[in-house]
Each structure stands twice: as C-alpha cells, then as structure tokens.
Structure 1
Amino acid sequence: MAKKKINYVTKESSTGANYIMAFRPEDYDIFEYRINKPIAVKDPNDTSEFDMHFIVQETDEIKINSKHKLEYFIPNNIALLLSISDKALNRGLQIYKIYLNPDKPENDITKYIKDEQVGFLKEKSRHYCDYIEEIETAIVFAYTAVEAFANISIPDNYIYKSAEKDGILYEKKAIERWTSLAEKVSVILPEIYDVKSIKSKSFYNHFKLLEEYRNAIIHQKSVERADFFKLYFKGNINEICKSSESVIRFFYDAHKESNRINPLWPWLIGNEKDFPIIYDDLSNIQRKD
C-alpha cells in the first residue's frame, strides 16, 4: 500500500491556528531547527497493523493591519536563544581568528614602527570591542536558554525543599525566581527527570563558568573595571558557551528513554525523529490532500 501524505488539516485548534501534517513520522523532513517540534497524534481506537498516526505542525499568525496577516510555524523560544548564542559565538571566534590572534604575524604590534603603532592599536581596539560584544551575546543567550529549559521542565505542582536555605519549601514560581540556575540544574532537574547527578559530567564545570561569566556581565561592579573581559580570551570560551546545549541534551536524552518528550523542548542535532506523542480521536478530522 502506497503511503499518502496529508498536506494540511482544515480543523482549527483552540488558539485558532491551523495544522500542517505529514501522514507518517518518516514523511516529516525537518526544515528549520528554530521552530517548535511537531507532535505525533495517535488514535487510541486505531487497531490496524500499520499503526497509523499523524505528525502535526502547528501554525500561528500575526495581524499586521486591517488587510494583511503574517502566517508562520511557531518558533521555539529555547531554540531561538541557542541559535542567537551560536551565531554570536561563531562571529566572535572568526573575529579573533582573523584580527586578534597573536600567533598571526600581521597581528604582532612589534612589526610596526612607533608612528604606526597608535593607528594599529586603534584598529585592533575596534576588533577587540567587536569580539567582546559577540562573546557576551553568546554567553548571555546560552545561559538564558538553559534557564528557559529549566523553568519549563518544572511541573506546576512541584515542591522543592532547599537544603541550601534551611529547608524552605518552594513552589514553581518561587523556584524560578529565587533558586539559582546551578541549583536547578544540579539538584532540581535531576530529581524531576530521575537521573544521576550532572556534576560528574565534564561539561558541568564549563557550565559553572558560563554562569559565572553571565553574572559578571549582568551584575557588574564598578570596582571590577573591565578585567572580566580578559577571561574571554582563554582557550575554553567555545566549550563554555557550548555547555548550554550539553546541559539540555543531558536531560533530553535521559527523558527521551522513557518516551516523555516535552513538546516545548528544542530540536537537537541527531534527534530529528524524536516526536512528542499525544493520543486523540482522529475520526472527525477533515483533511485536504
């Protein structure tokens, strides 16, 4: 039997959005890592040997004016944050490689005569500032991606007893506001996802540095001047920024094994066919081929 693709569903969702559908999971080809994952909808009444179900991709729209609207697949916030961080990191590393790398002869100030050195330093200072802008963008958005992931992972009815704060009980909103991200990642999320400690992973130390660097950016003190900029020139800045995806993947892989994929999680490279699953009666869905 030939498989038949479904182009779209005419039935609207509760938000007024339409659904774009593929007939089988293998028919779905990912075209953009920054949008929400599609959802596999299975009919609990379907007992056929083919295990027929749909992959559903939801759309939304923005009303631009009285005549026009913008329709789109819904972006995934965590994926956008990771994408912003990754692009900024790549731009920053490219700036360093071309203009700042001291191993390149053309970046050696001693090769210039004294009268040329001031102009050379002016040019290098501009590249220095460009590099810092990109790296700080990468740091802040990488950290924010993990923070967003941690917060959506906490169930609404979850209660956390903090050992660090004399056994104070925290509900979800209080956890989001008053608990450090390191505590969420190292204590709360392992409990929620029922996994072993993340602290034993090599990338966790890089994540701790990511949090340290981010806090230095957001909570700057006048006495520090700009000395923390110098940390961005260490050889591990790539691993520090990339630790955000490593943290998310750690919990993603652990949770995936129990087939409980959160539809709010981002796409990750290598997990293109991991779809969240819901069960719903599909008999009354109107389809256009």
Structure 2
Amino acid sequence: MRWPVFKGNVAVCIPEAEEKAMFKYILEHTTHPGDRPDLLEMTDEDLVPLGKFILGTPDYNFFIGPGFLQSGKEVSALGSSFEKCLLHLFRITGIKPMCYGGEPLELIGSFSVSYRTSEGIIFFFKISADSAEAMVKGFSSIRDFLAAYEDGLLGGISDEINRTFALGDRVYYFERTESAWRVVDPLGVIGERQHQKHKKTRVDERLSKPEILICEDDLSKNFIFGNNWILKFDGLHSSMGRPNDVSIYSNICDRNLAEARLLYKRIVLPRYNECQSPFPDREKQKLYIDYFEFITASIIFSFTAIEAMVNTIIPWDFVLSVKDGKAHDKQFVERNYTLTEKLNKILFKLLSTPRPQKEVWWGDFKTLQELRDQTVHTKQSDSEDRYSRLLSKDVFRVIGCYRKIISHYGSYLRMNRPDLLNCFPYGFGADGISVDLVSAETYSKIYKDMHNPFMGGNDGFS
C-alpha cells in the first residue's frame, strides 16, 4: 500500500468511473466546499496492502487524517455533512447484488478506511454491509474508535499491534467484533483456515498437529502438511503421522479409568449402602483383581501424560541458568529434574504461570505422584496400604486431576507462548496452531519437495 498525499482531512479513491462521477455530484449538492474529501487517482497496487492478505479493492477506499477525527468528536453517527453525503452515496451506488453462477445471492456493499498514526503505521478497516445505513454506521464506529485511540483511551491496542505480524508497509488489519474493533493477525487467520481444512481430513485426533508454512512476501502462498515420520522395524518401514505422546497416554488412562469405574460401581459402591460380607467370593475377587489392573494403569498413564506434556513443550533451545554458573538445557532438564521441579521451575519460567502450589489441583497431584511412585517402585512393605488406597472413592478424583493440570498449562501456553501450540495435544483447551513464516526461496524449495510427484502418495499434506 502507498499512503497518498492529500490536503484535506479525508480523501477517497473510487476505482469505478461511474460511481466516482456520482460521488462528485452528491458532494456538490450535500456538502460545503470545506467538508469535501480529496478525490484520488490510485492503482490497485497502491490501494492493496502488501502480502495479498486482502485480495481485490473495495468499491470505496477512504483515507482519513487527524483533522477529521478532531472535527468528528462532537457529531452523532449521521450528524456530519460528510456522513450525510455517504448515506446518499451508499443508497444510490453502494449496495450491489453478489452473484454466484449467474444468480444473485444477496445485496452487499463494501468500503475500506485507512488511517496513518503519528508512529507511521497504518490501520486498515474494511466494512461490508447490506444497507446504506449499516455502512455509514460502520464508518462512524471507525471514526469513534480512532478518536479514542488518539486520545489514549485504548492502550491495549498498542500491545496487540506489538504482537501482530506486519509487512514492510506497516499495515495492521482490524475487524469488528460484537462490542469493539480488534487487531487481526493475518498469520493466525491463514493458519486457522488451513487448520480447519486439515481437521476435516485428519486420520486421528491423537496425531500431532500439522505444520503450516507461509511465504513472508506473499501471504496467499501457504500450505499445510502432516507431521509425519518413518518407522523402521525388522527390515520393514511405515510412513505415517506422528502420534502425540500426551494424547496416547491420556487415552490409555481414560480407557482404563472407564473400565475401573464400571467395576467400582459393581463391586465396591454397593458396600457403602448395603450390609455385605467383607469376604468376597471367588468371582468377586476376580473382579477386584481386574479393577486393580485398570486403576493401576490409569494411575501410571495419568502421571505419564503430565510428564510427557511438560517434556514436549520445553523448546529445544531452552536454557536455564543455575546458581553455580552452569546452564541446564532441555535434555538435562528432561533427564535430571523431577516432575515437581519441572512444574515449579521450568514451566513457571517458560509460560509465566503462578506457582503450582497455589493451584487447587496441587494436593491431588501430590497424591497421584505418591501413588504412581509406590506403584512403579513397588515395595512389599507398603503394598497392602497401596491397594487399600486404590479402593477409596477419592482415587478417581486424584487420577482425573491430570486433565485439569494439562488444561491449566495449555491456557498459559495459549496466552504467553502461542509459538509452542503445535506440540500441545488436542482436547485440552489449546487446540490452536502456530505457523512458520519463511522466505520466498525457502517456501519455494519446501513446496516443490513436498509436492514432488515421485515422493508417491499424499504423504499427509494438503
């Protein structure tokens, strides 16, 4: 996008000659000379921001300066002469039929508003509406938003901008939510669009999330491919999607926990309400043993799912400085830190979380850890006590805390380290995805390699 030079408080570029002539006529008959915008001649290349995130040009393209915001602070939505002019214009030429296959689908109009701040960045708004009144209301809401921004009433917008990708023209896109305007991250929009397409065709939710590549010079160039690997065994090999360890372990836990719960309801719960012999018969003893198998597997894999989650989201370039001047990298942390230390030291720093000891699930986690340690490091001296604890009603709540813990860290990862979303499992509240932005040269090379017909088959990309 090229920011135009104009003398007044507002300027407009209308690509269609007929609509431009109509706009001139309406201006002459509805506004004072001092209120009229400059009419600009601009090419599509000048109008459209870099990167092709926005394709095509709207019917009307407005550029407004600080003076327009000053003059508009005390007017109502349709109170200014300029907005009355827009209302006339949009009623006559702004609403057009949208067609598909030669058949009109709906009447709709569109326009864009661009504003350059004192920092030299450009805010880009695009409005589509089905009535002239709605279009003018949209224009007014943009004006009010920009006035509030310049008055320092929207401090959070600057934080959003700092977190959002922009190309060399420094254009930031905005969209209207139910209550306010918000910054749009083009990488996030493209990534989510590709991700939704992938979800419709993915093999299984237990697989790792796919990878998405976007060309940094042309955002319309992007593609998605599965996180695949080749498993080699006994002189054979299988090319398939890469499982997510957390998903595998949590699924094993949940399946065994469901079986344990059914047996618990059948053989244990009735004893709380009925007078039964403390000496179960042979058949019931067999069911008790089945229950112990299922509940033991649940304990082991619920704890393992938590540990897999922690190890998975620690990035490969992570380094923790310690007091003796040494540095502990990812591999050292994985092998030498306990899970409690990883939660209290590593994720505390990596995700900017509160101390885990303050969370409501901490007590259940420590009980789960104790049961798991007693199970994995079996000692005959405490076996009777351990099996007794497995029959307590609380054991199901204790095992279930693993889902609360993983979801807890997923929420902080989503807020503070969205770049790590791809390693996080589905089903724990952080199902989003991050994208990789690459140079045009790198994009072209990877795209050609991935779409090489001699690779054979789909191989999981789309």
Establish whether TM, by shorter chain, passes 0.5.
Answer: yes
Can you list the C-alpha shifts for 1:213-251, whole angstroms capped at 9, x where unaligned?
101112222322321111122222222212222222222
Shift in Å at residue 183 of structure 1?
2.0
Structure 1 vs Structure 2 CA RMSD = 3.2
Contact 2:213 2:436 (8 Å CA) reproduced: yes
Give secondary structure in 2 for the equivalent of 1:70: strand
C-alpha distance in 2 between matches for 1:212 and 1:153: 24
The corresponding residue for 1:45 is 217
The corresponding residue for 1:221 is 379
Aligned match for 2:294, one of 134, 139, 145: 134
Q: Tell me, yes or no, if structure 1 residue 76 matches structure 2 residue 244.
A: yes
What are the residue-to-residue correspondences of 1:10-89 with 2, within 5 Å?
A: 24-29=194-199, 31-47=203-219, 53-62=222-231, 69-89=237-257
Shift in Å at residue 31 of structure 1?
4.7
Q: Is the deviation greater in 233-242 or in 278-287?
A: 278-287
* Bigger fraction of residues in strand: 2
Q: Tell me, yes or no, if structure 1 residue 278 matches structure 2 residue 439.
A: no
Can you list the C-alpha shifts for 1:176-230, whole angstroms capped at 9, x where unaligned?
3332211211232111211222222212221111111101112222322321111
The corresponding residue for 2:356 is 198
C-alpha distance in 2 between matches for 1:176 and 1:202: 26
The corresponding residue for 2:402 is 244
Provide closer, same or farther for how the CA distance between residues 28 and 204 of structure 1 changes in structure 2, counting only shifts above 3 A: same
The corresponding residue for 1:158 is 319
Gaps in structure 2 of 5+ consecutive residues: 1-54, 56-99, 101-191, 454-461
Contact 2:214 2:221 (8 Å CA) reproduced: yes
Can you list the C-alpha shifts for 1:62-102, whole angstroms capped at 9, x where unaligned?
45677x75332111112111111111111111111123322
Q: TM-score, normalised by structure 1?
A: 0.75
Q: Tell me, yes or no, if structure 1 residue 257 matches structure 2 residue 425.
A: no
The corresponding residue for 1:100 is 268
Contact 1:24 1:52 (8 Å CA) reproduced: no
Contact 2:414 2:430 (8 Å CA) reproduced: no
Give secondary structure in 2 for the equivalent of 1:159: strand
Contact 1:42 1:277 (8 Å CA) reproduced: yes
Give secondary structure in 1 for the equivalent of 2:420: coil
What are the residue-to-residue correspondences of 1:143-154 with 2, within 5 Å?
A: 143-154=303-314
C-alpha distance in 2 between matches for 1:153 and 1:23: 24
Can you list the C-alpha shifts for 1:96-138, whole angstroms capped at 9, x where unaligned?
1123322588x8544xxxxxx97x5211111111111111111
Gaps in structure 1 of 5+ consecutive residues: 3-21, 111-116
Give secondary structure in 2 for the equivalent of 1:72: strand
Indicate the percent of aligned positions where both proteins have the same amino acid.
Answer: 20
Provide closer, same or farther for how the CA distance between residues 23 and 133 of structure 1 changes in structure 2, counting only shifts above 3 A: same
Contact 1:160 1:175 (8 Å CA) reproduced: no
Contact 2:410 2:430 (8 Å CA) reproduced: no
Give secondary structure in 2 for the equivalent of 1:226: helix
Aligned match for 2:388, one of 219, 225, 230: 230
Can you list the C-alpha shifts for 1:249-268, whole angstroms capped at 9, x where unaligned?
22221121232224322112
Provide closer, same or farther for how the CA distance between residues 160 and 242 of structure 1 changes in structure 2, counting only shifts above 3 A: farther
C-alpha distance in 2 between matches for 1:268 and 1:23: 19
Give secondary structure in 2 for the equivalent of 1:195: coil
Aligned match for 1:185, one of 329, 340, 343: 343
The corresponding residue for 2:427 is 268
Q: TM-score, normalised by structure 2?
A: 0.49
| Greater relative contact order (CA < 8 Å, ≥ 6 in sequence) | 1
Give secondary structure in 2 for the equivalent of 1:33: coil
Can you list the C-alpha shifts for 1:136-174, whole angstroms capped at 9, x where unaligned?
111111111212222233344422538xxxx79562344
Contact 2:206 2:243 (8 Å CA) reproduced: yes
* Letter aligned with residue 235 of structure 1: K
Which structure would you say has the larger Rg?
2
Provide closer, same or farther for how the CA distance between residues 237 and 33 of structure 1 changes in structure 2, counting only shifts above 3 A: farther
Contact 1:38 1:57 (8 Å CA) reproduced: yes
C-alpha distance in 2 between matches for 1:251 and 1:35: 20
Q: Aligned pair count?
A: 254
Give secondary structure in 1 for the equivalent of 2:213: strand
* Letter aligned with residue 137 of structure 1: A
